[in-house]
Structure formats: structure tokens, C-alpha cells
Structure 1
Amino acid sequence: MKRIIVLTELYYPETTSTAYFLTEIAQGLAAEHEVTVLTGASMYESRSASLPQYEVVKGVEVQRCRGTAFDKNWLPGRVLNGCTRAISIFFKTLWQCHSTDIILVVTNPPLLPLMAWLLKGLKRCDYVLLVHDVYPEVLSASGLARPTSGVYRIVQAINTRVYQQACRIITLGRDMKQLVKNKLPQSTAEKVVCIPNWAEPDIIYAIQKSDSPLLKHLMWVDNFVVLYAGNMGRTHDLEILLAAAEVLAIKQPQIRFLLIGAGARQLEVETTVQQKHLDNVTVMSYLPNDQKNVVLNSCDVGIISFLPGMTGVSVPSRMYNQMAAGKPLIAIADNESELAQVIQEEGIGWLVSPQDDDQLVKLLTQIMNDSELCNDMGHKAAQAVLCKYQLKHAVSKYQSLFRELIPHNNISSPVDTKQLN
């Protein structure tokens, strides 16, 4: 009988988006199949020692492997983390898996799919590839490797083999689906499916801006607030926000920018704000997870920004929760991106070309006094989440996919020994 083995660097109780999504997917699949997760230890040393190497959580068998836990914002440390954890997960999987098992592997870190490919060759087991970021294209978009470089070409060659050998490939958006299909022979392109991520409408929902404790603390309740909440990484166009803020500090000082998150460029952003004395910009690190609804409601409009060339490379999961909060969205992204497509289809916001701060300034100046339009778009966004982007919608699609791969499965899931908080 077949078992699903999930390979992921991060899993519960980690609070990153990758850990959250893989946890919910594994638990959804455990309702119909035997599921084992092989994952890394906690990224936090203080927590890592207290986590058991083996436990069963909501029907999912979880096994934690060793690995380094350097600061992920330090690039060499992030590479070492990915390498040590992927290798540790590989050897444990090699010891345990059988030809009848099916591996579900996520592309973060990028070494894990390579391990799944090797396991297929060594153990004759199939694998399903869940694409969160497309390599090597993300390296080029983030400025880490040129398309003409040797590193880029090597990663391209390896990943082409990985994609071709997968029995199914799951993408998070239609733009990503097309990019992945371009890597495959036309005869195998049908194995690529799109299953979007989802929002958490049970904990993320619209509240009145005037009730936001965060905006009351900042004394911004009466201002027009633009919120950027999420990763401040190498692929995000953060310069456009600061350039627009610099202009609007003089032209429209009632427009304020609230930037909440962390990442490789957080210090750069904070330094720019200080050096240019941008009093209309506040930069904050992530607030506790139980404050997520407060954060996403502390604005008039949410903003998600990418550098040019990110179409299909990555789909921002944060957009679904921002929608659930009943706020319109400004997408700084290519027109063909999944983010842009959702905004256009649902009529829930506006598009701005990457690096075009003049366009962003004009847009914010136009909408700052149109609360009726913003409220209408925000309502549509929340309704779209309820209709299309909930956990139950995604789990149903994952279950359908694995029913095709495992048509006859009568194995009962392990008994729970622990409940999630």
C-alpha cells in the first residue's frame, strides 16, 4: 500500500508561510492516506531542543532531522541551512521509503527536489513537486545569478531533469504553471496543475480602521495608510515605496506608509528611511502571529511589490489574507502575474508597473479621498476569498490529485498524540 512522504524544510510548529501551508496540506491528505513528514528541526535553537524527533500530530507522522540554524537573512547561512537539512532529510528518507511510496516535495530549499529526484532513481518511488519558487529564474530576478552564468545554467539543467521526472507538478498560479510547462516536453505538460494557496478567514476578517490599536498607537487613524506587510526580500520592489513616500511627504503628507516585516533588505529600508528623514514612513518587524488581523486591517489599502521579471517565478500567498481583511490591493507587478490577474478578475485593486514611482504617486493621490471605491473593492476582495480561496478549496484539490495517484488506499492514519494549538 502506498504512503505519502512529505519532504519540507519547515513544518509545525514553525510559523513561516511554508511551514503553515505544508502543515495544512499534510493534515488534509492524512484524512484519506497515510502521511509521513520528514522535516528539519526548528529554526530557533531555543525551541529546537524541546521538540521531539518523532511525534504524530493530527494524524500525520512527523520526523525531525538535524541541520544548522543560521540566520536566514545571512545568505551563506541560509545556503548552509538548506544544504545540511536537505542532506539530513535525504538520508532519513533513503532509509525509510519504498517503491510503493509517493513523495511530495516542496521547492524550498532548492536542494530538496534534487533529493527527491535521486530517491526516485535509487528507490524507484514517484514524487510530486510542489513549486513555491521557480529555479533558477528566482536567482536571476533577485540578482544572485545572471542567466549567462555557469551557476544559472547548471541549476537550469538539474531542475529541468527534476521537473521532467516528477509524476505531477503543482504550481501556485497560472503564470507559474505556464513557466513550468515551458520547461517540459509538450507531451508531458498535462502533468502540471495549479492549486492556489488560501486565506484564513476564520482569523482574518475586516474590522473598522478606526478600531485599529496599531493605528491609534501611531496616531494615524485619520491618515490614508498604505500597508506593506510581509517579506522584505531581494525580489521585492521596495525602492518604489520609499521613492513615492519621499515625493508624497511634500505633496500629500496625510498619506502614510506602514512597512511591517523582515528579510534581507529590512536594514536597507530602515537606513533609507532614516537618512532621508521620511517621517511619513514607519518600519516595523513582524508582530506576534496573534496580531495578524490587527496588522492587515491597519490600512486603507494593502500593497504587494515585485521587481520586473517575476511573472511565474513566485506567487505571493500574503495577497489572500490581505483580501480576507477586506482591503483593496495595489499590485506592483508584471501584468501577466497571478497577482495582477486576480486583482483584475475580481475588481479589487490597481496595477502599477514595477519601478514606476511616478505612477504610484499619481494613483495614491487619486484614491486617497475615494473611501467609497476602496470600501467597495475591499468588500469584493473578502467575498472572493470566501468563494475561491479557503483551505477547504485547496485541500479538496490536493485530495483529488492524490486519489488519482493512489486509487486504492485502505490504510488508516496514525492515532493523534498531540493537538495543534
Structure 2
Amino acid sequence: MKKFWIISELFHPDEVSTGYVMTRLAQKLSHEVDIGVICGPIHDLKILTSKDKLEDEIQVLRTGFRISGSKKLPVRLFNIFFLCIAISMKVLIHTRKGDKVIMVTNPPILVPFLSFLKKIKNFELNIIVHDVFPENAIAVGILKKSSIISKFLKFLYNKSYQTSKKLVVVGEDMLDVFKEKIGDREIPMKVITNWADHLQIYPLPNQSISSYYNKNLDDKVVLQFAGNIGRVQGLEQLFDLMIKVNNQNFSIMMIGNGAFQPLLYQKKLDHDLDHIHFCGEKPRDEQITFLNACHISIITLHQGMFGLGVPSKVYNVLAAGKPILYLGDRDSEISRYIKEYDVGWSFSWEQEDEIIQFFEDLSLEFLPKFGVKGKNSRRLAEEKFNESLILDTYSNFLQN
């Protein structure tokens, strides 16, 4: 009997988006097929409790190699490389001919590793694409587009993707990118988005925003950025625009952590951006509370990230019934949601004057308009981004 294997750096009880998605997929498949998981060690031991146990039918094999918490890029690359070797060794040992391997592109270095192992072990390789490397590294300036390294990596990854049996991408814009990457290969591809936890995350209309942050914000429009404060988000450009805005009617609450937080915090101090507040990281089980602690949710992607990723947080923002302010490439996945379903506002980074004017005009008198878009957000989460429907789509596509 063929065995299914899920390969991911992160897995239960880690609740970072990729870990959560792959855990729920494993739980879904475990009721239908023989399944095992090969993953990295538990990232945050503090979240492991006696109740955090998966069903007995899921075999979980973890590597012993642990990634350090360093934010320095060379150290992170070194750690990820050796983690991928450790995961690959377990794949080499435990998979058999004909097994179905389902991997997610995190960490990205794992893609060519498993593509190579597929030729040795003759398993079926199915890839769930959350991030597109090396194009995302080129977009944020880590790699130069014209460099020999970039060209080699694009060739290597395109060839690796072309060895897959099936490909899952998380957006229509990403599908366009992959049609070009795989060329004339007849590989089944399907857009399967992430989902909203709409039963656990929902609007809390009576929640006090001021009480949550322990600040007097009653006379402010409160915008919130929640998530990784890293390179691909393009937040430095947002902060540069805030320097040009003259409006005391709003505040921005930054929830999360990441490599760019020190730089952004220094920019806040240097330019007296007193209306921007850094609130630190929040645990996943507090999502319903902190996602409701705003009037508008900010979602950003660095310029040039079209088709290279969809922030998974967007779905629970919709579930919380919040309108979205999206700043990123034109016609990207989130921009399409906003235009098609009227769940917020979308600007490209080139629309600098329009973005500044949007912030200049923010006022509590527009709360009714925010409410209409928020109701549209909640409806979209319930009807289109339903977890049960999306996991069924995954199961049908990967098994058939």
C-alpha cells in the first residue's frame, strides 16, 4: 500500500502559518490514507503541553537539528541548509518506491533536495507552493536579477518543479508564474488557497480597542499590521510614506516580529512617528482578540512580489470582519479579492500620492463605510475560504 508523507520544516505544535496548514492537512488525510510526517524539531518548546498530541494514526519523524534564533542572513542560510540535509536523510531512509510525498516550499532549499531524491527513491513528488524562490529573493534585493547565481538558481528550481507529479499554488497570480516556470510540461496544477478559521475567528463588535492596547484610542481610526516584519512585506516603504502624512486622526499598531523590526523602530524614533506603536508578538490562540483590535487591517507586499506569495493572515483578517488596506503589486491575489468582493482598498506602491491622500482622509466619520466592507469580509471568509471545503479540495486533488 502506498504511504503518504508530508514534508515540512514546521509542524504541530508549532503554529506558524505553514506549520498550521500542514498539520491540518495531515489530520485530514490521516482519516483516509496511511500517512507519515517528516519535519524539523519543535521550534518553540514553550507551547508543547500534554494536550498537544496528534491522533495516534499520524507517524511524526523529527530531525534533531535545531535552527538557532539568529536573524543574520548568513547564519540563517547555514542553519536552513543543514536542516534540509537532516530532513532529506530521513526522506531517503523512510520513503519507498511509489510513496506519495507532499512537500511545502518552506524552507525553499528543500525543493531541489527532494527533486533529486525522487530520482533515487522513485516516489511521487507533489509540491504545495507558498513562496516562490529565487524570484522572491530577487524582488527584495537579496539577489540581483542579472547575476549568474540568480540565473543558475532559477534554472535549478524550474527543473526541480518540473519533476513534480502535481503542483498546488495559493493564488491565480502564482498560477501564471508557474505556467511559465514549468514550460510545456503537462503537470496538473491547481489553485488552492489557504483558509479562514471562521469558526474560531469572528467579529467582536463590543470589544474595546483602547482597553486591548491599554491606550486611549477612542478618537482614532486604528489600523493594524499583524505578522512577520521582514523583507518581503515592504514595510520600510510604508514608514517612508508615513513621514509625509499629516493627520492626527489615526494610529497604526504593529503586532509581530522580524528581521526588519529594529530598522523600522529606529525610523519611528528618528522621524517622531508617535502614532505608530510596536506591540510585540501575540500567540495564535489570541488571534480573535488582537485581529478585532482595529478598524482596518494593513497587508503589504514588497514591490515585485506579484505571484510570489499570498500572506496567509489575510484569511483570518477576513474572518474577523475587518476591511483590508492592501499595498502591493497591481492585480495580485489580495488586490483581486478587494476589487471583486469590496472588502477594502488596494493601492500599488507607484500610487504614492493616492496612498498619502488615503491616510490624510482617515477619520472616524467613515466608520459606517468600514463596517460595510467588514461585513463583506466576513461573508467572503464564510463562503469562499471555508476550511472544510478547502481541505476536501486538497484531499481530492492529491489522492486522485
Deviation at 1:336, TM superposition (A): 1.9
Letter in 1 for 2:72: W
SS of the aligned residue for 1:186 comes to coil
2:314 aligns to what?
319
Indicate whether 1:239 and 2:236 are aligned.
yes
Distance 1:51 1:295, change over 3 A: closer
- State which drifts further: 117-126 or 358-367: 358-367
Q: How many Å separate the matches in 2 of 1:399 and 1:210?
A: 37
Identical aligned pairs, as a percentage?
A: 27
Letter in 2 for 1:84: F
1:174-189 mapped onto 2 (5 Å cutoff) = 174-188=172-186
SS of the aligned residue for 2:110 comes to helix
1:17-56 mapped onto 2 (5 Å cutoff) = 17-44=17-44
1:6-405 mapped onto 2 (5 Å cutoff) = 6-44=6-44, 57=55, 59-71=57-69, 73-188=71-186, 191-208=188-205, 210-212=207-209, 214-215=211-212, 217-248=214-245, 251-354=246-349, 356-368=351-363, 369-404=365-400
Structure number with greater CO (CA < 8 Å, separation at least 6) is: 1
1:412 aligns to what?
none
Tell me if structure 2 keeps the 8 A contact 1:307–1:355: no
Deviation at 1:95, TM superposition (A): 1.0
Distance 1:187 1:157, change over 3 A: closer
Q: How many Å separate the matches in 2 of 1:102 and 1:199?
A: 27
Tell me if structure 2 keeps the 8 A contact 1:226–1:303: yes
Q: How many Å separate the matches in 1 of 2:164 and 2:390?
A: 20
- State which drifts further: 214-223 or 284-293: 214-223
Distance 1:289 1:403, change over 3 A: closer
Deviation at 1:211, TM superposition (A): 2.3
SS of the aligned residue for 1:68 comes to coil
Q: Normalization by structure 2: what TM-score?
A: 0.94
Gaps of at least 5 residues in structure 1 are 405-421
Letter in 2 for 1:266: Q
Q: How many Å separate the matches in 1 of 2:199 and 2:118?
A: 39
The C-alpha deviation readout for 1:130-174, integer Å capped at 9, x for no partner, is 111111101101211011112211211111111111000110111
The C-alpha deviation readout for 1:74-126, integer Å capped at 9, x for no partner, is 21232122112211111111111111201001111112122221221101111
Q: How many Å separate the matches in 2 of 1:201 and 1:236?
A: 25
The C-alpha deviation readout for 1:188-219, integer Å capped at 9, x for no partner, is 25x11110001111221111265236545121
Q: How many Å separate the matches in 1 of 2:151 and 2:46?
A: 38
- State which drifts further: 263-272 or 279-288: 279-288
Q: How many Å separate the matches in 2 of 1:357 and 1:260?
A: 24
Letter in 1 for 2:381: V
Distance 1:80 1:200, change over 3 A: same
Q: How many Å separate the matches in 1 of 2:86 and 2:184?
A: 35
Q: How many Å separate the matches in 1 of 2:307 and 2:38?
A: 28
Letter in 2 for 1:371: L
Q: How many Å separate the matches in 2 of 1:403 and 1:235?
A: 33
SS of the aligned residue for 1:284 comes to strand
Gaps of at least 5 residues in structure 2 are none
Q: How many Å separate the matches in 2 of 1:384 and 1:367?
A: 25
Q: How many residues align?
A: 397
SS of the aligned residue for 2:152 comes to helix
SS of the aligned residue for 2:145 comes to coil
Letter in 2 for 1:21: V
Q: How many Å separate the matches in 2 of 1:41 and 1:351?
A: 39
Distance 1:270 1:219, change over 3 A: same
The C-alpha deviation readout for 1:312-344, integer Å capped at 9, x for no partner, is 011111111111111100110112211111111
Deviation at 1:26, TM superposition (A): 1.1
SS of the aligned residue for 1:182 comes to helix
Deviation at 1:58, TM superposition (A): 5.6
Distance 1:116 1:108, change over 3 A: same
Deviation at 1:246, TM superposition (A): 2.8
Q: Normalization by structure 1: what TM-score?
A: 0.89
